Structure 1
Amino acid sequence: MKRPALSALLLAQGTALLGTRLSMIAVPWLVLTELGDPIWAGVVAFAEIAPYVVAKAAGGPLIDRLSARRVSVWTDLASVAALAAVPLLYGLGVLTPLLLVPLMALVGTLRGPADAAKYAMVPSVAEAADVPLTRVTGLISGIERLSGLVGAGLAAGLVALIGPANALAVNAGLVGLAALVVAVGLPGLGRPEPDDSGEGYLAQLRGGWRFLRADGTLLAITMMVAVTNLLDQGMAVVLQPLWAQGAGGVAYLGASQVCFGVGALCGSLVAAGWAERVPRLRTYAIGFFLIGLPRFALFVVPLPIWTLFVGLAIGGFAAGFINPIVSAIIFERVPRRLVGRVSSLFTAIAWSLMPLGGLAAGALVQGAGLTAAFLALGAAYFAATMVPFLVPGFRRMDARAAEAEVEKLERAA
C-alpha cells in the first residue's frame, strides 16, 4: 500500500465533504421553502451541529480501539440510511420538522466520528505512502477547500433541479461512496494500534484530555482556533450576508466567498509542497493576522469593490497554510495509539464555540450596527492573533516533540 492509499483517503474525504456541503444548503432550504418555518431552520441546524461536536469528542476512544478505518466505514454507512430517510419521508408526504430534527441529530451524531476517523488515518496513510505529513495535510486541506467551492455550486444546481429533499438522496450516495472507497482502498488500516493499558472507555477518554491538557502547544492552538472559529462563524452567517444585502445582492456574497475560497485552495496546494520549508509559527501567525482585522476592515473601508475581492483572495491564500501546519503538529506530537481520542477532542473543542458565533454577531448588529460589528469582531480577531507572541506554548511549534517529551505526555495521559 503506497501512493494509492493517499489517493483513496483524498477521494473518500472529498466525496464525504462534498455531501456535507450539499447538506448545509439543502437542509435549511428544505425547511424554509417546503416546510415553511424559518424558526425551525435554526433549530434543525443546532440539532445537527451540537451532537456532531459531542459525538466527535466522545468517539475518539472507539477510533483507537476499533481502528479509524472501521469507524469511518460503519458510521458512513449508517449515515446513508439516516440521510435517505429524509427524501423517503418527504415523498410519502409525512416529513415534518418534528421528524426532521431527530433525523438530522442522528446524522450529526454519526458524522462526528466519521470525520474524526478519516482525520485520524492521516499519519498512517502518510507513513504508508512515504509522503511528509505537511504534504498530506496540505492536500487534505486543499480537498476541503475544493469541496466547499464545488459543493456550493452543486447544491444550488441540485436543489433547483430536483428539489432539496431529493438532493439529500445525492448526499447519501456521496457518503456511501466514501464508505466504499475507505473499505476497498485502505485495507491495510484495519488493525488498531496496540494498547496494553487495559483502560476502560471513560478512562481512555479522560486520558486523551489529560494528554491534550499536558501539551502546552496543542492546548494553546486548540483554544485559539476555538475563538477564531466563533468569530469566523459570526462573519459567515450574519455579517457577510447583511453586507451583501446592502451591496447589491446575493451575487456579492457568492463572489466574496469564491475569492476567499479560491485563494485558500491555492494556499493549501502550495502548502502541500512547501510547508515543510517554512517557519511554522511565523507562517501560522501571518495567516491568522491576514484573515483577522484586515479582512473585517475590508468590508467597511470605502474602497473599490475589486480591492475587497483581491484582499479576500490574499487572505484566503495565507489561510491555506494554517490547517496543514496545525494538522502536522498534532500528528507529530500525539503518539499513534492516542491519535483518535486526542485529535477528536482537538477538533471538537475547536468547533465548540461556533454555535455562539451567529448569536454574538447578531446581537452586535442589533445593538451597534453592521459597521461597528465588523470592527468589533475584527478587533477581537486581532487580539487572538497576538496570542502566539505572548503564550509560551506557541514557541515550540517549529520543532518536533522530542521523544522524552512525548513519553512524559503519555505518562500524563
Structure 2
Amino acid sequence: MSAETTEADGIPGKRSLRPLGGVLAAMAVSLTGTRISAVALPWFVLVTTGNATQTGLVAFCEMTPYVVIKALTGPLVDGIGPRTVSWTTDLASATAAAAIPLLHALGLLSFPLLLVLVALIGAARSPGDLAKEVMVPEAAERGRVPLERATGLSGVIERLSTTVGLAVGGSLVALLGPLTGLAVNAGCFALGSVITKLALPRGMGHTVDAAPSQAGKTEPGPEAGPGYWRRFGEGFAFLRGQQLLLTVIVLITITNLLDTAFASVLRPVWASESGHGPAAIGLMGSVLGAAAVCGSLIAAVVAHRLRRRVVVLGGFLLAGAPRFLILAFDVPLGVVLAVFAVSGFGVGFVNPVLGAVQVERIPRRMLGRVNALGDALAWAGIPLGGLLAGAAVTTAGLVPVLVACGITYFLATTLAGLRPEWREMDRGRGRGVVEPRSEDDATQDRADAAT
C-alpha cells in the first residue's frame, strides 16, 4: 500500500511547503496577540490598581492553568489531533480575551472577574500552543525541510511575533489605552483559529493513533490506540529516562520564572518609575525581538554545523543576566536598548537548538504527550514569577530584585552547562537519540498504535 496520495486528501505525498507555512502563519498571529497582551494587561492592572502585587497576581492566575492543563493535554492532542485542538482552543481564547474590554466598557469588570477571564485565556491557550508545536515536525517532513531549519524558522516566528507584538502593544497602549491592545489580542486569536481551520490541509495534524485504511487514508478505528492514562504514563516513563532533557527542563524552569518576573512586573514597574512609560516597554521588546530574529535566522542556517552545547550556553549568557542588571542602573534609554539588542541576539540561538534536540530524542508518536509534560515542567515556575516579583518589589524595592534576579540567572545557566549530560547535546552523542524520520516511519507508528 502506497502512502503517496494527493494533498487534497490531506495525506502527505509530494513535497509541499504549504503545511509548514500554514503552521507558522497560525503561530505568528496567535503569538503576536499574546505579546500585545503582555504589554496591555500588566499596564491595565498597574494603572487601575497602582499595586505591583495585584499585577503579579494577574500573571499568576493566567499562567497557573496554562501550566497545569498543558501537563494533562498531551495525550488528548495525540488522540484528537493537533489541528482540531489548535483551532478550537484559539477560538476559545479569542472569546475570553474579547470579554475583558467588553465587560469593562459596560462597567461590569471587577478584579475577581478579571482573574477568572485571564485564567480562562491561559487554560485555552495552553493546548493551542502545544498543538502548533507538535505540527511543526510533520510539516517539516511534508516539505522535506531539515529539522533544525524548521525549528529555527519556528524560533524566527516566535521572535518576530515578539518584536511586532511588543512594538504594537506599546504603541497601542500609549496612544489608545490598554483595552485596545486587549481587543486586538482577541482578534489575533480569532485569526489564528481561521488560519488553522481553513488554510492547513485536511490531513494536517492527524492523530498519531490513526490506522491506515485500505483506501490509503488514515482513520481511527473503534480500538484506535491506547487510552488517555496509558498515553500519559508512557510519556512520563519516557521523559524520566532522558537525563539530558530533564536537566534542560530544570534550567528552563528557573529561567522562565525569572523571565516572567521581568516581563510581568519588573519591566512595567521600571517603565513607570523611570518615567519612560509603556512606549519604552514596546521599544525594549522590539529591539530584543528584532535582534532575536537575526539570531534565529542565523541559527536556522548554521546551527546544525556548530557545537550545540557551546551555542546554547553562549546564548544564555547573553540573553539572561544583562537584561536585569542594566535596569538596576540609572543609564540612558539608548544604553538599555543596546544591551537588549545583544541579549536578543543570544536568545535567538537558544530555542532552535533546544527544539531540535528535543524532537530528535522523542519518538514521533509520543511527541504530544512528552512535549506536554516537558513544557508543563519547564513552565512550572512561570505562575510564580509575577507573584514573587510583585511581593519582592513591594517589600525590597525594584533595584535589589533586579540585581538578585540577574545573579540567579547567571548562576543557573552556568552551573547547568557544567553537568556531564550536557555533552550529549552535540549530535551523535548520548543514548536514545531519535533522528528525524520519514513519513514511512510515521505511517508505521500509526499502524503500530492501531494494533
Correspondent of 2:364 among 332, 336, 342: 336
How many residues matched? 408
Shift of 1:169: 3.8
Distance 2:102 2:267 in 1: 35
Match of 1:17 in 2: 31
Q: Any conservation in 1 of the 2:32–2:165 contact (CA below 8 Å)?
A: yes
Q: Any conservation in 2 of the 1:329–1:400 contact (CA below 8 Å)?
A: no
Higher mean Cα deviation, 77-86 or 223-232?
Answer: 77-86
Q: Secondary structure at the match of 2:75?
A: helix
Q: Secondary structure at the match of 1:130?
A: coil
Structure 1 residues without counterparts, runs of 5 or longer? none
Shift of 1:124: 0.2
TM-score (norm 2): 0.80
Match of 1:189 in 2: 204
Q: Any conservation in 1 of the 2:288–2:344 contact (CA below 8 Å)?
A: yes
TM-score (norm 1): 0.86
Distance 2:136 2:340 in 1: 29
Correspondent of 1:65 among 55, 72, 79: 79
Match of 2:241 in 1: 214
Match of 1:143 in 2: 157
Distance 1:67 1:386 in 2: 38
Higher mean Cα deviation, 232-241 or 339-348?
Answer: 232-241
Higher mean Cα deviation, 102-111 or 191-200?
Answer: 191-200
Match of 1:112 in 2: 126
Q: Any conservation in 1 of the 2:152–2:300 contact (CA below 8 Å)?
A: yes
Q: Deviations over 1:60-115 (max 9, x none)?
A: 00111111111111212222333333344344443333333322222211110001
In structure 1, give the amino acid aligned to 2:122: G
Counterparts of residues 7-406 of structure 1 (less than 5 Å): 7-31=21-45, 41-159=55-173, 164-165=178-179, 167-187=181-201, 188-194=203-209, 198-244=225-271, 249-250=276-277, 253-300=281-328, 306-361=334-389, 370-399=398-427
Give the aligned CA root-mean-square deviation in angstroms. 3.2
Q: Any conservation in 2 of the 1:48–1:105 contact (CA below 8 Å)?
A: yes
Identity of aligned residues (%): 44
In structure 1, give the amino acid aligned to 2:249: T
In structure 1, give the amino acid aligned to 2:103: L
Q: Any conservation in 1 of the 2:56–2:388 contact (CA below 8 Å)?
A: no
In structure 2, give the amino acid aligned to 1:89: L
Shift of 1:343: 1.0
Change (3 A) 1:359 1:39: closer
Greater helix share, structure number: 1
Distance 2:246 2:117 in 1: 33
Change (3 A) 1:45 1:388: closer
In structure 2, give the amino acid aligned to 1:136: A
Q: Any conservation in 2 of the 1:333–1:401 contact (CA below 8 Å)?
A: no
Shift of 1:390: 2.8
In structure 2, give the amino acid aligned to 1:193: V
Q: Secondary structure at the match of 1:131?
A: coil
